[in-house]
Chain A
Amino acid sequence: EIVLTQSPGTLSLSPGERATLSCRASQSVSSSYLAWYQQKPGQAPRLLIYGASTRATGIPDRFSGSGSGTDFTLTISRLEPEDFAVYYCQQYGSSPPITFGQGTRLESK
């Protein structure tokens, strides 16, 4: 089973700043089968990025994903007030099982 470790656990930034979230896998994620989700309180997760770098339908271009192998990054170029949430990475290249990271909480400073 591939274990995903996200860092930092909590990230405190201000609107307008750049956010960089990390997801590290315990072994290589085949074919960059990695996704990122955003979850706000009381809501279901929302797909942001799949295939490590492809934005899902309707996702603003301030969200971008990069990486391969064991190291992946979600970047939010310029934070909007609605971007403060919890972010999860997910791998699906070596399944089953599908695994998720433990999440990064992005909070407003």
Chain B
Amino acid sequence: EVQLVESGGGLVQPGGSLRLSCAASGFTFTNYAMSWVRQAPGKGLEWVSAISGGGDSTYYADSVKGRFTISRDNSKNTLYLQMSSLRAEDTALYYCAKRTAVGTPFGSFDCWGQGTLVTVSS
């Protein structure tokens, strides 16, 4: 069974940092691009970042470019999101999501984790 489990969320002050993790199982992790997608409380979905299967290509939404870094450790089947210079508007439930098919980093997502909540507040 394909499974994604996020962790690392919590309460952080504005300007602070946090690292999210997503542990993957049930599929050949290195074959699939992965993304982070967030959802502010009561709001819609916002794509945050994507990374290729090999980890050599990364992409970011303008809203997080220069502040967030996506990475992956294929030996540990784990995806990461390092977040710094956090702002109140980064408050959201952060999902990791698996690309439906092998190929480019951009596609639909056929598996999502349960999400980890990041709250940025003083």
Contact = CB atoms under 8 A, between A and B. Distances in A.
Interface of A: 33, 35, 37, 44-47, 50-51, 56-57, 88, 90, 92-93, 95-103
B57 to A, nearest CB: 11
B107 interface: yes
A4 to B, nearest CB: 10
B60 to A, nearest CB: 7
Interface size class of B (residues with CB under 8 A): 20 to 34
A29 to B, nearest CB: 12
6 contacts: A45-B112, A47-B109, A57-B110, A92-B107, A96-B60, A103-B44
Interface stretch (B15-23, B45-53, B73-81, B83-91): B45-53
A99 to B, nearest CB: 7
